[in-house]
């Protein structure tokens, strides 16, 4: 049988200061979100992955399956937040600047316009019942793009590839926007890094 060894995941650094996304997202939120919430997903994923490795090495199938929700939740949380920080940027680093190239063409042909995709995206965000994310995704079956919501920390895997995500968990906005989440969904477009989405689209 094969013994699996793995390296720990680590919290990625942000490419910008905590306060750099203001006024769309407050520095206080960014600091808590990155250094507490995301850090916890990293720590908890490492813990769960260690346990999974151990169970795998002893052939304990029951334990491996019992660990799956923790891997999904914390591993997904780590993946989602890592992608999120990359698809945000301060205005002086391109945040809010509209997409160009192939992705822009796809947006126009699929949704009609950038404004239309934002509208549909925000409607999807507003419709999330509980915690979750909305993603612009690429469908690997058709090559086309679409908007999908994912519950809790379920990551974008399988048929779809993540292009651009927005965190709709209350911790992502509550200190600044309270219950007025529609305001947050509107404001965040000012700091969306379309360049990251274009790069992902090219690779997907």
H helices present in 58-164, as ranges: 61-70, 76-86, 101-111, 114-126
- Which residues contact another protein (rule: CB under 8 A)? 32, 36-37, 40, 69, 73, 129-132, 151-153, 169-171, 174-175, 178-179
Q: How far is the CB of 167 from another protein (least distance, A)?
A: 12
- Contact 29/172 with Cβ under 8 angstroms? yes
Nearer to another protein, 44 or 64 (CB): 44
Give the orientation angle of helix 39-57 with respect to helix 76-86, to 10 degrees.
Answer: 140
Nearer to another protein, 69 or 101 (CB): 69
Round to whole Å and give the CA distance between 128 and 57: 39
Nearer to another protein, 110 or 131 (CB): 131
Six-digit token pair at 22?
């203001």
Nearer to another protein, 38 or 200 (CB): 38
Q: How far is the CB of 50 from another protein (least distance, A)?
A: 18
Q: How far is the CB of 29 from another protein (least distance, A)?
A: 10
Secondary element (H or E) of residue 147:
strand 145-151
Nearer to another protein, 40 or 104 (CB): 40
Produce one character per residue of 121-157: b if its CB has 16 or more CB atoms within 10 Å, e if not.
bbebbeebeeebbbbbbbeeeeeebbbebbeebbbbe
């Amino acid at each position: 049988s094969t013994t699996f060894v793995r390296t720990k995941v680590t919290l990625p650094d942000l490419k910008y200061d905590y306060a750099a996304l203001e006024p769309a997202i407050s520095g206080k939120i960014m600091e808590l979100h990155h250094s507490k919430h995301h850090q916890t997903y990293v720590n908890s994923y490492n813990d769960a992955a260690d346990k999974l490795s151990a169970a795998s090495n002893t052939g304990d199938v029951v334990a491996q399956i019992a660990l799956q929700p923790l891997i999904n939740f914390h591993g997904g949380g780590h993946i989602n937040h890592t992608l999120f920080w990359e698809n945000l940027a301060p205005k002086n680093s391109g945040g809010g600047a509209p997409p160009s190239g192939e992705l822009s063409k796809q947006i126009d042909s699929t949704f009609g316009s950038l404004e239309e995709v934002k509208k549909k995206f925000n409607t999807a965000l507003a419709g999330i019942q509980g915690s979750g994310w909305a993603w612009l995704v690429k469908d690997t079956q058709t090559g086309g793009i679409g908007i999908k919501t994912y519950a809790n920390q379920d990551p974008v895997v399988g048929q779809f590839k993540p292009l651009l995500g927005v965190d709709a968990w209350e911790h992502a906005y509550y200190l600044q926007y309270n219950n007025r989440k529609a305001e947050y969904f509107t404001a965040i477009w000012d700091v969306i890094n379309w360049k990251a989405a274009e790069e992902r689209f090219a690779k997907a």
